[in-house]
Amino acid sequence: MKSEIRISGLGGQGVIKCAYIIGKAASIFDTKFATMTQSFGPEARGSSCSAQLVIKDDHVEYPYLQNTQILVSMSQDAYTKFETEVDDEGLILIDDSLVHPTPPRKNIRQYAIPAMKFAEETGNKIVLNIIMFGFFVAMTEGLLDYDAAVKAVETSVSSSTIDMNMKAFNKGFEYGKSLLEKEALQ
């Protein structure tokens, strides 16, 4: 199994941290191998940024995306820029508080979560990326082990914010699971 993933958005949204946690969950707390590369503008906040992950069951020979299978987008500019790179059988996950998508192409599965709204409800918008990570774990069913994902969050944030971040992770995860359950009933 090989998964090629792009996490995209704006500087300051925690895009790189989200990708780092995905890679950590896969390679440290699960039984997979992962590489991450990143790209961002010279500005500290507000510029486009993205991180690319390759996750495999065995060694990753080439760390760059060749066939994007999963796109996580937390900004309109990022969605517009990277949506066309997603494989025709791919998966797109967006924050619909910030992204207004076009209808998905061909067999692309596209799901949305009001992540920024949920983050604002927690009283701290900084957890947007952790909400998206929880959503990612739910929607990619089995790519990452749930317990590995939890350990990755717990070991990637400061100890004083673990509870807040775990609430954010579970909010995204539960929202994703509820979408999948509704879809299964249709």
SS (H, E, C) 95-108: ECCCCCCCCCCCCC
Q: Does domain 2-185 have CATH number 3.40.920.10?
A: yes
Domain ranges of the chain: 2-185
> Average pLDDT by consecutive 10-residue portion of the chain (186 residues)?
92 93 97 91 69 95 93 95 94 95 90 96 93 98 96 97 97 97 90
Contacting residues for 116 by C-beta, under 8 A, at least 6 apart: 95, 97, 98, 125, 128
For position 43, what pLDDT does the model report? 52
For position 42, what pLDDT does the model report? 56
For position 47, what pLDDT does the model report? 75
For position 41, what pLDDT does the model report? 60
